[in-house]
Structure 1
């Protein structure tokens, strides 16, 4: 295992598994390594489709908040690593299926939102706790999953939504019991892998080209606000409170 994940290839289907206890949160180096792995799989002639899933309690809790609490200057590296991973998924030459369970937070939202197809276990929940962690980010990819007003409600409140609600809103292709998640995702992947690799790669490029707006540009815009947020005292307080498992205490701000 390297940097909290591993992969395998069988019959044209690459399976990339995030496995980094306790919550599959990756540090800055881990996000860069994940991006490189996805890029490498996408260029292989024996890979026709990629399934990204995870082991453990949930799909992905995002970035390693403890790393940023200890090394706040690494926010630039964390931002860059996230950007590269989400770009690698979205711009991958072959379709990417995200099979998610448990918590799908922060960077987990980025992976799912960048993917071509998302299949969820019944236990999956989706959320963006960025505001409560003193950061920004996730909105661009969240809007690829949910309607704009739902995105804003999730963003401002930090409230999660269930797999059933995500399915109702059209974000999930299927919702299945946790025990069936892997095989369900692989069944969809095998159906795609059996088709002409050349046609599928052309279809992926064409569909990316006709999307409304540039996902990577939108996310890059968001990341500028993440850096700005980190310059605010409230941002450091939220991270410290998270590490110390206490309620954050904010200094009142003037509206002037």
Structure 2
């Protein structure tokens, strides 16, 4: 496996890039949960754009190391520096745009938790392969933020997206496959091999034809993914102006329950009227 350096910010990056023939692997490796700060998201966007301009690359595979694929943004950064929400939003937007609009096909190979920005990466990709331990969710409503619905809706139906969005509940790989979001579900040990098998098949096609195919397929999608996501991000900024958003972030960092106005369970303690 060849390691390739692309132009980008100096210093340690929360990911690495490896090459195998015409396949570039972008491996997110930022313990403990692969949550990226504003700088990390911008660096990732620059890397995807640089790979897209590299004529020797035919397919991109993005995956994660450690406990899970990607837990999204670094909530601790935003709890300490709430004014960085604009930079984080911009980094998310540019990263997902760099994948969705990349001239090369993108395969996401995911395992463990796939949350928030991890959903954005999957929703922006062309193909998603998952380990049987993968779990998908958008916990933004419990973190005082918005966003992720546009990319989640590229994977699931409208009402499933709304259920996941309003409740913050996660679903497993088997259910995601049943609902058509995944190309393949495999044991964790086989995940990288499964993604590279598909990548090699695509890499052996005419690069000119594949590039035209991706542009054509993007063009026939329903609506503009980037515009939809930008619309959502405006509501994240609005959310950050509320007291509830600050309380949600503080509770997450302090590992306690958020204190919102709560109402009694209408079904009663025993679950019956």
Aligned with residue 68 of structure 1, among 65, 78, 82: 78
Quote how far apart the aligned CAs of 1:251 are. Answer: 4.7
Contact 1:3 / 1:29 at 8 angstroms: preserved in 2? Answer: no
1:1-256 correspondence to structure 2 within 5 Å: 2-251=12-261
Whole-angstrom distance in 1 between the partners of 2:133 and 2:20: 28
Moved more, 243-252 or 28-37: 243-252
**TM-score if structure 2 supplies the norm length?**
0.91
Unaligned runs of 5+ in 2: 1-10, 263-273
| Over 6 Å off, 4+ runs | none
Whole-angstrom distance in 2 between the partners of 1:22 and 1:191: 33
Whole-angstrom distance in 1 between the partners of 2:229 and 2:12: 27
Whole-angstrom distance in 2 between the partners of 1:60 and 1:160: 14
Whole-angstrom distance in 2 between the partners of 1:206 and 1:11: 26
Quote how far apart the aligned CAs of 1:54 are. Answer: 0.5
Quote how far apart the aligned CAs of 1:89 are. Answer: 0.6
Q: Deviations over 1:79-132 (max 9, x none)?
A: 000000000010000100000000000000000001000000000000000000
Unaligned runs of 5+ in 1: none
Q: Deviations over 1:161-217 (max 9, x none)?
A: 000000000000000000000010001000000010111011111100111100000
Quote how far apart the aligned CAs of 1:9 are. Answer: 1.6
Matched residue SS, 1:97: strand
Moved more, 215-224 or 3-12: 3-12
Quote how far apart the aligned CAs of 1:11 are. Answer: 1.3
Matched residue SS, 2:107: strand
**TM-score if structure 1 supplies the norm length?**
0.97
The alignment yields a C-alpha RMSD, in angstroms, of 1.1
